[in-house]
Chains A and B, each alone.
Chain A
Amino acid sequence: MDLNFTPEEDEFRLMVRRFLGENIPKSGLGDGREGREDQAWLARAKEWQRKLYEAGYVAMAWPKEFGGQALEPVRQSIVNDELVRAKAPYLIGGSGLGMLGPTLISWGTEEQKKRYLPKILTAEEIWCQGYSEPGSGSDLASLRTRAEIVGDEFVVNGQKVWTSGAHYSDLMFCLVRTDPQAPKHRGISYILIDMHSPGLTVRPLVQMTGDRGFNEVFFDNVRVPRKNLVGKLNEGWIVANATLFHERNMLGSASGSEQRFNRLLALAKSIHRNGRPLTEDPLFRQRLADLEIRVEAMRLHAMRQLTDQICGRQPGIEAMINKLVGTELNHDLATAAMEAMGDDSMLARDEQSVLDKGYWPYEWMFSLGLVIGGGTSHIQKNIIAERGLKMPKSR
């Protein structure tokens, strides 16, 4: 056990901090979740990621030949800490960086890696995830979007749903059924689809927050080159799970929770009940301390997993809980803030007297969305029990 960073790493951290201090866009990009994107916003968001990449702070562990620096994971974790600390805007290319990129590095052909990875880094190409369908949510493997092979192409028909960012994405990594006769897990393929293809339509869905954040995507004879297959034909389920692993770690990431706790604490100090700050209310103090302890546990839990990664140890059951625990903790933080605000918690974001810039009501709703997205808590518990504890499958 040694929690010290090397002098080089400390120096690196200061350099990152300086860079972020000087370069974070002042105009405010939002956190990219509000769904109020227009072309100008999109251009600025891409510009921010590109700038960060050019400074050398994006996907630093990726192989050099595809635009990475093959650095040890601790460097990226320092950058990630500093990004959170500096309240830097969220990266528009998150799903390419966090989900598709790592999947392609393990499963993609050399050609696919060369073609796609560099543009993920620079935000020249933004990706979305085509997984859920109207009839296939928790039972993802029952998906029915069909891809038939015609000559050198897949011809895709069907529909995806809850597709975040589809309205500004250039490409989609998508699960399609290529063998309807096979058992459900064995007839799925993982393909890459150009969002500008003829026959592909994106329709917005409005989230409970009132914003447009996700979409329905319809495929009507969409043609996709066969070379866009990742992994083997009909063996896409295993590739899909590699992506899900990365997605769940991203959603359950502890990095934002500490900031949220500090924000909650500041809020509680500013609100008075019975003539004293809420932080002096014995019951609310208990609740705050409980949340602080859980946030700290997840911070340390992430350090433990980073260490495993540095040592090249395979993730085990401890990684399966990240999504379940991390997303529920974030929702609990927001729920505590809502209680602290009382009636004011129900004010709309644009109401003048709204507290803390209307952050919490939005976060309260959005954080519940993340408890669902990427596999609900119920599904996460099935995974922990079946894959982690080897309890018998019920299906």
Chain B
Amino acid sequence: MDFGLSEEQQQLKTSARELLAAECPAAAVRKAMASDDGTLPELWREIAKLGWTGLIVPEKFGGAGLGMLDMAVLLEEQGYAAMPGPFLFSAAIATEALVRGGSEEIKAKWLCALAEGKAIGTVAIAETSDRSPTLAKDGRLSGSKVFTPYANLADFMVVAARGEAGRSLVLVDPHLSGVSVNRLRHLDLTRRFGSVDFSAAAAEPLSEGESLHRRICDVGAVAIAADSLGGMQRALDMAVEYSKVREQFGKPIGSFQALKHAAAEIVADLEPARSLVWYAAHALDAMPREASRAAAMAKARLCEVYSRGTDRAVLMHGGIGFTWEHDIHLWFKRARFNESYLGSPSYYRERVAQLSAY
């Protein structure tokens, strides 16, 4: 029995924390926020060189062939840094879709490029809306998807479509005719989203139909939960640090019980939630029958406590926390996005109820 990160995973976490502290401080995040495509190209090249983009790509395609728990470790640290860019959507979710469901031809075409950081994939998989595009008998895709991450950067899109055989995932080349992308203006500027319209667009089916779709939604839920875990830790760290230096009534505000209790409540939410993320990621790697329920639990809980935690962290900062200038709102908004993306906590709680058969 060994429940926790391995030594290698701990090292990965530490080196990711150090790298992102140096290369992706809040000033860099703001630079990406102000940029056109919302990315940091130099950082992307660097993490690609380190093998992050190929973390879950099989070795024969030039990746490290590691699992979702390793990925969760990286995503946690990216959440800690509020790292901008398509990593979570491309290197975790879209890559997993091709690893699991791509034909040999698709794999050969994309996986090496993904591992090298030269290709970017995105996903339009949310199943909570009723607006899924439909797949005609001739394999053409029509309909629209909103909140498609980095849609205008993507070299390929993994799209959940409704067809005669139910829901399945298809691969779409956004550069072909019949696909148009519109950038969405939205609140969490550490990420970019587009809405995508498909009009009889060419689509290549991925294998395994519903079960692949299920798996990829679970992977997405766990990825978002891992990002939330790191972001919540960051919001806590920022609020606690601030409470030690800001003085009122002649004392650091952190000496007042009201602030101590707010901080302690974040910890009380955070620490058990960490175990939910580890378990859900491990279940994706090694316990397939547990994976959906564990993913739903992690997504529901982490997104709920991340939002609550950033609320508390903003409040602990007082007026400065409400300014654009202070960085805490980057995590506050990222928490809110994480909460709604792929389904809200109430949606996932209902899933837990169904999967637990009550």
Where the two chains meet, the residues of A that have a C-beta atom closer than 8 Å to any C-beta of B are 1-5, 9, 74, 265, 268-269, 279, 282, 285-286, 288-290, 292-294, 296-298, 300-301, 303-304, 306-308, 310, 317-318, 320-321, 324-325, 378, 380-382, 384-386, 388-394
Contacts and interface: CB of A to CB of B under 8 A. Distances in A.
A391 B259 contact: yes
A385 B300 contact: no
A301 B271 contact: yes
Given A2-B2, A288-B358, A304-B274, 13 more contacts: A1-B278, A289-B300, A292-B353, A297-B273, A297-B301, A306-B1, A308-B4, A318-B271, A320-B267, A324-B268, A325-B272, A385-B254, A391-B240
Interface string B237-269: 000100110000001101111011101110110
B259, B272, B274, B356: most-surrounded residue (chain A CB, <10 A): B272
A389 B265 contact: no
A384 B267 contact: yes
Interface string B283-321: 001110000000001001100000000000000000000
B255 A307 contact: no
Interface stretch (B44-52, B141-149, B165-173, B344-352): B344-352
A297 B275 contact: yes
A304 B3 CA distance: 5
Task: Return the 6 tightest CB-CB contacts between A and B, nearest first.
Answer: A385-B260, A300-B275, A381-B264, A297-B272, A289-B349, A384-B264
B148 to A, nearest CB: 29
A391 B260 contact: yes
A285 B353 contact: yes
Contacts of B263: 384-385, 389, 391
B34 to A, nearest CB: 33
B297 A293 contact: yes
Contacts of B268: 321, 324-325, 381, 384
B260 A293 contact: no
Contacts of A386: 260
B21 interface: no
A286 B350 contact: yes
B220 to A, nearest CB: 18
Given A285-B350, A288-B358, A391-B255, A293 B1 contact: no
A79 to B, nearest CB: 14
Nearest to B356: A292
A72 to B, nearest CB: 10
A43 to B, nearest CB: 37
Contacts of B286: 1, 3
Contacts of A317: 267, 271
B244 A391 contact: yes
B6 interface: yes
Contacts of B236: 389
A306 B3 contact: yes
Nearest to A383: B264
A268, A279, A300, A393: most-surrounded residue (chain B CB, <10 A): A300
Contacts of A298: 272
Contacts of A384: 260, 263-264, 267-268
B202 interface: no
6 contacts: A1-B286, A3-B282, A286-B350, A303-B275, A318-B271, A386-B260
Contact of A389 (B256, B267, B279, B300): B267
A296 B273 CA distance: 10
A257 B55 CA distance: 37
A325 B272 CA distance: 9
B260 A381 contact: yes
